[in-house]
Amino acid sequence: MSRLARTALLAGAAALIVLGVGPLFAKAQKPAKPEAQKTEAAPSAATRVAKLNLGRVALPEEIAAWDTDVRPDGHGLPPGKGTVKEGDEIFQAQCAACHGEFGEGAGRWPVLAGGQGSLTADRPEKTIGSFWPDLSTVFDYIRRAMPYGNAHSLSADEAYALTAYLLYLNDLVKDEDFELSEKNFTSIKLPNAKNFYDDDRETTEKAFWGQTPCMTNCKSEVKITGRAAVLDVTPDDDKTAPKVD
Amino acid sequence: MTSSIIRNPLSRRGFLGAAAAAGAGIGLGPAHAEKPAPDPLITEVQDWNRYLGDGVDKRPYGTPSPFEKHVVRRHVAWLTASPESSVNFTPLHELDGIITPSGLCFERHHGGIAEIDPANHRLMIHGLVEKPLVFTMEDLKRMPRENRIYFLECAANSGMEWRGAQLNGCQFTHGMVHNVMYTGVTLKTLLNEVGLKPNAKWLMLEGADSAGMNRSLPVEKALDDVLIAFGMNGEALRPEQGYPLRAVIPGWEGNLWVKWLRRIEVGDQPWQAREETSKYTDLLADGRSRRFTFYMDAKSVVTNPSPQAPLKHKGRNVLTGIAWSGRGHIERVDVSLDGGRNWRTARIDGPVLEKSLTRFYVDFDWQGEALLIQSRAMDSTGYVQPSKDDLRKVRGVNSIYHNNGIQTWHVRPDGETENVEIG
């Protein structure tokens, strides 16, 4: 038998198998066995995979240009300084249009100050002073993405000054002459830092696992307690009257 | 007209005409008991049946039929301050199967869409590595590739519904999810190229967009199943989805799937970036907050019927929906038509994959009775999708994120369908 003919036969057999299996799958009540999508296990030092030797070494200047991130331990803080007063001036010129003169937020733009003690209230106000755990996040985010639409335009000194002003707006420093720098930065702790903890759903929500759900007569009465239509906040060109035939 | 129909209750046409008239005031014309008129769509030659249509290359990149122009992503203007830092929603009620068409995958940007020529894109990996490296897109496309189907759900999907039913449409209540086949390189491959130092514990992924979107990722996940993808659904990523390069973090909240990925820094602790502290942390009733709530728990929603897709026919109908879990695959989906009093197990059709949308159906007869439709997903870890009230008991109503509670749709006798809460 030629190779070609054998291939054709094999292909025919495969087609038959597929055809044979098709209807069975269609009738099956239970889903087909889920296919694992996982890649093979992570390599240990012992089973190190050969390198592909693609890419090139990143130069120190290139790393410096992009590596502007700052961590809570101060890792990544650039040299620089700025006072509350200096920050006030920059803030009014570059930030207040969205965030308000005192960080109160204009329209739906983020509120940056106030809200202390509101986290258990009906409408919590999550600001730098009331909610954020780490001051480094403020500095990092300003340098990363602010002002909105003109990112990477502020100097390190300006970012220190703005961060100092935001501390002042949140009553975390009282003195307009307070100067923030890479030297005193990590000494400042935000008040809500202690109220964050890592995901604990697998213990605190353990009850959601392993239950055998009720299938019949699970409730005696069902009442509608709320309707989206009452609030009427859905964008409305979907509100077409249905027709039933 | 209506009264004459009522006088002839045995006529099938009369019954159908009455139902239509009652439903929307659109009758079938005068009700005749005589023989039905032939359908002119069948008896008359139609334009498309006579004249030549467009030739090849008239539509070099095909788009949906003009009759499908209503099938689009939509946003809710009051949710955000500006469209560049906003979200829109996948029209789940118009889709079927498990794959979301690329152009309908919901968008979430923090600083607008970065438009990047792939020739000008670089991926840098540095920090606690033996050799910091820069990769071009050409480099990445010379590496071994994998293809995987995964859902991406924004942690804030259904976040507007914590306090009660708010938006009328599964597009708005559940449309921050999509399911795509990605093509890319495993992050494990890239980390092998740079060589992790022994104290490497966390990575920081950063985008090239004007928000410099960044998140911290545990190294265990990075070495497990993370892909660095350049393809979606068989073609290049769409700009809205991070062209030319994005992270794919299977089963974990969408915010981690950094788009326009340009940099990965390796460190020994998390960065506490803005998007993992001030946002994407879950404020509970006691005023404390969970952070690094990465997993998306099992969830499901009936997409049809739903407020944007009311029931239009009495008799035979198809109920369908999607279910997914970030912890494994979907084991089973139950559906209730009476607000959770009684349940039946839905029929799953199509591929059942880990961390992927799974499609379910209930084929049913409807006689115009009011329905309270719910679906309940169960995953391979034994997790059972909780009711909204059960979630609220543990978390309160201020956590914004990770609302995977059971959704209820109220179908009225006229077929109109509404988002409701039940007690």
pTM to 2 decimal places:
0.88
Task: Determine the distance in angstroms separating the CA of A179 from the nearest CA of chain B, rounded to an integer.
Answer: 23
Q: Is position B249 within any domain?
A: yes
- Chain centre distance of CA B1: 45
List the domain boundaries for chain A: 79-195
Nearest to A243 among B26, B111, B135 (CB): B26
Q: Which residues of chain A have pLDDT under 70?
A: 1-48, 236-245
Nearest to A242 among B343, B398, B415 (CB): B415
Task: Determine the pLDDT at residue A231.
Answer: 75
Tell me which chain B residues have a C-beta less than 8 angstroms from the C-beta of A225.
164, 420-423
Tell me which chain A residues have a C-beta less than 8 angstroms from the C-beta of B132.
57-58, 63
Helix, strand, coil fractions of chain B, as percent rounded to 5: 20, 35, 50
- Compare all CA atoms of chain B with the CA of A221 and give the residue at the minimum distance: B341
B276 and B313 part of one domain:
no
Could you give the maximum distance between any two Cα atoms of chain A, in Å? 94
Q: Is position B392 within any domain?
A: yes
ipTM of predicted assembly, 2 dp: 0.89
| DSSP structure string for B157-179 | TTGGGTTS---SSHHHHH-SEEE
Using the Cβ of B164 and the Cβ atoms of chain A, whether some distance falls under 8 Å is answered with yes
Task: Determine the pLDDT at residue A236.
Answer: 67
Q: Find the domain containing B16 and state its range.
A: 1-27
CB of B242 closer than 8 Å to CB of B261: yes
Using the Cβ of B199 and the Cβ atoms of chain A, whether some distance falls under 8 Å is answered with no
- Compare all CA atoms of chain A with the CA of B404 and give the residue at the minimum distance: A208
Within 10 angstroms of residue A179's Cβ, the number of other Cβ atoms is 18
Tell me which chain B residues have a C-beta less than 8 angstroms from the C-beta of A52.
142-143, 189, 193
Q: Is position B80 within any domain?
A: no
B384 and B240 part of one domain:
no
Written in H, E and C, the secondary structure of B258-317 is CCCEEEEEEECCCCCCHHHCCCCCEECCCCCEEECCCECCCEEEEEECECCECCCCCEEE
Using the Cβ of B423 and the Cβ atoms of chain A, whether some distance falls under 8 Å is answered with yes
Token code pair at residue B322: 């999607």
The total number of residues shown for chain A amounts to 245
Q: Is position B405 within any domain?
A: yes
Task: Give CA–CA dist A153/A143, Å, rounded.
Answer: 8
Task: Give CA–CA dist B108/B212, Å, rounded.
Answer: 14
Tell me which chain B residues have a C-beta less than 8 angstroms from the C-beta of A29.
347
B236 and B349 part of one domain:
no
Task: Give CA–CA dist A223/A211, Å, rounded.
Answer: 25
> What CATH number has the domain spanning A79-195?
1.10.760.10
Number of folded domains that form chain B? 3
B108 and B139 part of one domain:
yes
Nearest CA among A213, A222, A36 for reference residue B346: A213
Tell me which chain B residues have a C-beta less than 8 angstroms from the C-beta of A126.
278, 283
Nearest to A39 among B124, B225, B410 (CB): B225
Q: Is position B53 within any domain?
A: no
How many inter-chain contacts (A to B, CB under 8 Å) are there? 319
Q: Is position B77 within any domain?
A: no
Using the Cβ of B148 and the Cβ atoms of chain A, whether some distance falls under 8 Å is answered with yes
Using the Cβ of B421 and the Cβ atoms of chain A, whether some distance falls under 8 Å is answered with yes
The pLDDT tens digits of the residues spanning B157-210 come to: 999 999 999 999 999 999 999 999 999 999 999 999 999 999 999 999 999 999
Task: Determine the pLDDT at residue A235.
Answer: 80
Tell me which chain A residues have a C-beta less than 8 angstroms from the C-beta of B265.
67, 69
- Buried b / exposed e over B265-280, threshold 16 CB at 10 Å, is bbbbebbbbbbbbbbb
Task: Determine the pLDDT at residue B23.
Answer: 42
- Chain centre distance of CA B293: 19
Kindly report the CATH number assigned to the domain that includes residue B323. 2.60.40.650
Task: Determine the pLDDT at residue A37.
Answer: 67
Contact A52 B288 (CB under 8 A): no
**Which of A57, A138, A243 to probe the B interface (max B CBs under 10 A)?**
A243
- Compare all CA atoms of chain A with the CA of B327 and give the residue at the minimum distance: A202
Within 10 angstroms of residue A209's Cβ, the number of other Cβ atoms is 15
Task: Give CA–CA dist B192/A44, Å, rounded.
Answer: 11
Task: Determine the pLDDT at residue B204.
Answer: 98
Tell me which chain A residues have a C-beta less than 8 angstroms from the C-beta of B18.
none
Kindly report the CATH number assigned to the domain that includes residue B220. 3.90.420.10
B262 and B309 part of one domain:
no
Using the Cβ of B314 and the Cβ atoms of chain A, whether some distance falls under 8 Å is answered with yes
Q: Is position B45 within any domain?
A: no
- Compare all CA atoms of chain A with the CA of B349 and give the residue at the minimum distance: A31
Contact A137 B277 (CB under 8 A): yes
Contact B420 A226 (CB under 8 A): yes
Q: Which residues of chain B have pLDDT under 70?
A: 1-33
CB of B127 closer than 8 Å to CB of B267: yes
Q: Is position B46 within any domain?
A: no
CB of B241 closer than 8 Å to CB of B184: no
Token code pair at residue B290: 């969970």
A147: DSSP letter: S
* Torsion angle in degrees (nearest 10) through CA of B66, B67, B72, B77: 100
B343 and B399 part of one domain:
yes
